[in-house]
């Protein structure tokens, strides 16, 4: 079982948490959840059973996990989950006036890649390592606590009369 990816990101004024995990060779699938306040807004699950016996299985799983994690982040930024989010959180819960370009880059409370970072990208490709500039060595429980505290503070700021 590989360590996973965890990212806190603000979209249209609301803080979300995206978590991707490997279930291990006995249950060869990767699952990515989009959370808000501890509630799952969306899940993506994919199998890697066809790679379990590969010599480079671990590397392949990391690549698949990274790709799936990035895809959920991109879909959130693109507004793919907005309708579901507003159904669950209430109409108007997303700030329609939020600058999506700013929000798309807004990452909160030191997102963390838990476990061993991915190897550096090959300079010849011009690529960069996933999470570069937002990687932290904080433990997952600290990331979650920071997320919950920030979420509570933002709710308090939005509450009228307080």
* Secondary structure of 83-125 in HEC code, one letter for each residue: HHHHHHHCCCCCCCCCCHHHHHHCECCCCEECCCCCCCCCHHH
Domain ranges for the chain, please list them. Answer: 5-158
The per-residue pLDDT for 68 is 95
Kindly give the confidence (pLDDT) of every residue in the chain, 162 residues in length, as a single tens digit, with 9 standing for 90 and above: 667 889 999 999 999 999 999 888 889 999 999 999 889 999 999 998 888 888 888 888 989 999 999 999 999 999 999 999 999 998 888 887 775 444 444 443 333 444 434 444 444 444 455 555 555 555 666 677 777 878 777 777 776 665
- For the CA atoms of the chain, what is the radius of gyration? 17
Q: Are 114 and 21 in contact (CB under 8 A)?
A: no
In this structure, what are the phi and psi dihedrals at residue 132, rounded to the nearest 5 degrees?
-55, 130
The per-residue pLDDT for 35 is 94
Return d(Cα 55, Cα 106) in angstroms, integer.
Answer: 38
The per-residue pLDDT for 123 is 42
Triad 46, 141, 7: Cα angle to 5° = 45
DSSP 8-state assignment for residue 148 = H
Q: Are 57 and 22 in contact (CB under 8 A)?
A: no
pTM of the model: 0.62
Can you read off the two tokens belonging to residue 135?
Answer: 């990687």
The per-residue pLDDT for 136 is 55
């Amino acid at each position: 079982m590989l360590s996973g990816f965890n990212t806190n990101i603000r979209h249209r004024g609301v803080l979300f948490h995206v978590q991707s995990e490997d279930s291990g060779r006995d249950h060869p699938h990767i699952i990515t959840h989009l959370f808000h306040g501890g509630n799952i807004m969306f899940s993506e699950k994919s199998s890697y059973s066809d790679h379990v016996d590969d010599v480079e299985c671990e590397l392949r799983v990391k690549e698949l996990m990274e790709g799936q994690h990035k895809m959920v982040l991109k879909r959130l930024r693109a507004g793919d989950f907005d309708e579901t989010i507003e159904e669950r959180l209430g109409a108007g819960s997303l700030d329609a006036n939020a600058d999506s370009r700013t929000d798309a880059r807004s990452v909160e409370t030191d997102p963390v890649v838990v476990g061993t970072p991915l190897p550096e990208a090959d300079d010849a490709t011009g690529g960069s390592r996933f999470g570069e500039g937002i990687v932290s060595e904080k433990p997952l429980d600290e990331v979650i606590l920071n997320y919950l505290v920030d979420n509570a503070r933002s709710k308090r700021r939005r509450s009228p009369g307080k």
